[in-house]
Amino acid sequence: MTVDEIEAQFNALQSEVKEIKEEIESDAHLDFINSLKQYVNKY
């Protein structure tokens, strides 16, 4: 495998990792725990 091919693979992986990371983080938004926060803020 050439270095260019390795680099291309790395770039591809990088963008894929970024994609899935963002996808999962979009679900990890604080909306999920807002109701819980309300209980904490209440006190």
Partner 1 sequence: MAEGEKRNLENVADIEKEYSEVSGGVAGQDENKYYHNANNVEEKSENGKPEINIKGVLQNAEEQIFSEFISANSDIEAKSKSELTGDALAKYEEFLKSERVGEIYSETDEKIKGINKSRNYNLKDLGERIDELRTAVDQKLESTNKDIEEIEKSTQEEIARLKAEKEKEISAKEAEINALDSNDPEYSEKLAQLNKEKATLSNELSELSKDIAENSEYKKLLDGNSKYVDLLKDKEKLQEIRKNIGPSREERQTLAEQEGKKESEVDYGLSKDLRKSLSNQKDLREKAQEKAKEIFGEDRVKDDFGINQEEKDKKDKDKEGENLEENAPEQEQQGQTKAQAGQIDPKTLAAIQQAMKNAGVTPQQAGANVVGEQVAGEQVEAPEPTGMDYLSSLGYNGGDVLNAKSSIALLSAFVSVGDKNKIAILSDDQAKSVIFEAMKQANSRKTPLTAIKFNKTRRELIKMANGPMMRKALESVGKDVDYNNLEDVNKQFNNVMRDYDYIRQQKENEIAKLPDGEEKDRLQAELAEYDKKYSAMKGVKDFRNITNKDLARFRDKVVDKVSSIFDRNKVDRLNPPSAKEMEAQDSRNNMYNRTRTVIEQNKEKNEFQARNQSAVNSPEVADESEKQRAEAEKIEEKQKIQQADEIAKKGAAQRVANEQKEVGE
Site for partner 1 in 1-43 (CB under 8 A): 1, 3, 5-21, 23-33, 35-37, 39-40, 42-43
Structure tokens at 25: 């983080």
Distances (CA, A) of 4 to 8, 16, 40: 6, 18, 53
Number of residues that bind partner 1 (CB under 8 A): 37
Min. distance of Cβ 34 from partner 1 in angstroms? 10
Q: Residue ranges of the alpha helices (H) in the chain? A: 3-27, 34-42
Q: Which residues bind partner 1 (CB under 8 A)?
A: 1, 3, 5-21, 23-33, 35-37, 39-40, 42-43
